[in-house]
Amino acid sequence: MRAPHLRWIVLLLALAAFSAAARAQDLWVYDNAPAAIAIAVDPALDRRAISDLIYGVNFATPAQLAAVGYTLNRWGGNSTTRFNWQLDVHNSAFDWFYFNYAADNDPQALPAGSEADQFMLASRAAGAEVVLTLPTIGRVAGPDRERRWGFSQALYGPQLQDECSYYQVPPPWCNADAGNGLCTQAANPAHCDAAGHIVGNDPNDTTTLIGPSFVTDWLAFAATRVGPSSRGGVRYFALDNEPMLWNSTHRDVHPQPPTYDEVWNRGLAIASAVKAQDPAAQVLGPDTWGWCDLWSSAADAASGVSCIDGPDRQAHGGLPFVAWYLAQSCAHLAATGVRPVDFLDVHYYPQSGEAFGGETYAALRLQSTRELWDPSYTSASWIGDQVNLIPRLRGWVDTYCPGTRLALTEYAWGDDAAPSGALAQAEILAILGREGVDLATRWVVPAAGSKTEEAFRFFLNYDGAGANALGDRVRATSNDAAHVGAFAIRGHGDELLLLLFNKDTAARDVEVSINASLVGNFALYRFTASAPLGPAGSALPSGGVLTLTLPARSATLARGRLATNLIFQDSFETSTFLGWSAAAP
């Protein structure tokens, strides 16, 4: 009996020695496993209503609005700059050879039944608010419903590409006369400038001049269709689409680079007309396109000095364009008693390919969401700076025009089918809520049934039976936000909703410390790259700590309940369904 006993002792000693050696060389997986991420939640701190209007998209169909419950639907984008609501004609601009296109609707019924009219009717019928883009460029597609194009090769000489040469095998319907407006002086000395652009074309080839009455007549017509803004109609009106790109996107009618003064004055003329027509209307401006025109004008970018500084900026006190624009808005308010711009409206896309790319960009995409809020994060793109977008914009608002709300009406962080894009989208919605953005619309609506659509369902209908994550943001911090983002919402009644986003390629353990008394289990809902959004079991907190293992690259919602009704204990009396008007930041 002693020999076997001795063999076990020897074996145990050998294992102990191997264990020590393995530990020294970091060979044991469990010793290499990362520590649990610590998350702290306090439902009584930093409480603020999350606007329902951040769950918006661009161009959702009636079926998508009904299926997902998007709260806001934007009529925007390049083609809306020249949309003619009377003729139901838009221009494709640089996106497609500067063509005028008439919608396939009954011309005898217009303007009733136009694409914009149907968009408004369907959106409001589905309960979604509408952002309607108004032209400020001074021209709209016309003067008729004929197919027209901006750069005729017969009129303005040979160009680098036309609608037919775009294709390797030209389709029978293409138009070889429709050029792209780009050229060489060698081939086209009469109409080509040194920059390789067609000059001297006639804007009347595709457009007709308009004034503010064109816009106010549109508002009056819309009120007959869906009611005035104060009684269920369209409430939100954007001052054009990316005006600092007019000289590139709409170069056939606006070849001059816009300046600070032009964008402000053209927008003010329309905003003033809108406010006179409908004082309850909410105006969004200036609708910037990205990083550069937060800081300067197209004229500065064209000067070749810098896209964030130049003569135009220096002629306006050296102020960044958006800061200066805000100052003009509040100066007008002080002089007239009318606030011309209610929402500071910007667009933002990450610039390293992750905005629309697939899983190749997954790791970068899941970190670059920090460009929206993290002052320590440097953009990996050509921007090469700390973007800190939302806090930066908030700072400018507080300094130059307090009371202006914040809108992000175009953004995208991944292909609809990319699992990392869906995860990034879900975290972005949580970021927008935590950071106090008042209105947001993704470009464009996610494809039906896509992973990115799940990201919106995560907030609007996470259990498939109508449960939502609308409410008030409260304090939630992660000690490793680069790997696991953490957010908390006080929902209906005593609900506490924890939103946890594991961006790591491996499962991560989290310990969520909740500074409140809790009742019962937390029900879990989750989506991953391979599993659709749905129930994921439950977890019971112990001593105020909820311990969870989050699958790799997953979004998890944990729904629990506070032990007592805390809704009115902090004198914060607001409905979770009032959106931006419920409480000030």
Cα(74)–Cα(119) distance, rounded to whole angstroms? 9
Cα(524)–Cα(521) distance, rounded to whole angstroms? 9
pTM of the predicted model over 0.95 = no
Residue with tokens 């930066």: 392
Could you please report the per-residue DSSP string of 46-97?
Answer: S-EEPPGGGSEEES--HHHHHHH--SEEEE-SGGGGG-BTTTTEEE-GGGGT
Give whole-number Cα distances, 525 to 126, 250, 427, 468, in Å: 26, 46, 15, 12
Tokens of 458: 């995560």
Longest CA–CA separation in the chain, Å: 107
Mention every residue, 6+ apart, whose C-beta is less than 8 A from residue 331. none
- Per the DSSP assignment, residues forming a β-bridge with 133 are 238
Q: Residue 449: exposed, middle, or buried by beta-carbon count in 10 A (0-12, 13-18, 19+)?
A: exposed
In this structure, are residues 461 and 527 in contact, taking their beta carbons and an 8 Å threshold? no
Cα(132)–Cα(73) distance, rounded to whole angstroms? 9
Grouping H, G, I as helix, E, B as strand and the rest as coil, residue 158 is: coil
Tokens of 364: 């970068």
343-347 and 282-288 strand pairing: parallel
Q: How many other CB atoms are there within 10 angstroms of residue 198's CB atom?
A: 27
User: Mind listing the pLDDT tens digit of every residue in the chain (585 residues)?
Assistant: 333 333 333 333 333 443 443 333 332 233 467 899 999 999 999 999 999 999 999 999 999 999 999 999 999 999 999 999 999 999 999 999 999 999 999 999 999 999 999 999 999 999 999 999 999 999 999 999 999 999 999 999 999 999 999 999 999 999 999 999 999 999 999 999 999 999 999 999 999 999 999 999 999 999 999 999 999 999 999 999 999 999 999 999 999 999 999 999 999 999 999 999 999 999 999 999 999 999 999 999 999 888 999 999 999 999 999 999 999 999 999 999 999 999 999 999 999 999 999 999 999 999 999 999 999 999 999 999 999 999 999 999 999 999 999 999 999 999 999 999 999 999 999 999 999 999 999 999 999 999 999 999 999 999 999 999 999 999 999 999 999 999 999 998 899 999 999 999 999 999 999 999 999 999 999 999 999 999 999 999 999 999 999 999 999 999 999 997 544 444 443 333 333 333 332
Report the residue count for the chain: 585
Tokens of 43: 């439902």
Q: Sign (positive/negative) of CA torsion 57, 61, 67, 71? A: positive
Peptide bond into 446 cis (omega under 30): no
- Per the DSSP assignment, residues forming a β-bridge with 182 are 197
At position 7, the amino acid (one-letter code) is: R
From 485, 314, 321, 308, select the one nearest 384 (Cα to Cα).
308
Tokens of 301: 């970018």
Q: Sign (positive/negative) of CA torsion 125, 130, 136, 140? A: negative
Cα(386)–Cα(370) distance, rounded to whole angstroms? 10
- CA quadruple 94, 97, 99, 105: dihedral, nearest 10: -90
Cα(116)–Cα(119) distance, rounded to whole angstroms? 5
Cα(259)–Cα(313) distance, rounded to whole angstroms? 9
* DSSP H or E run through 249: helix 246-249
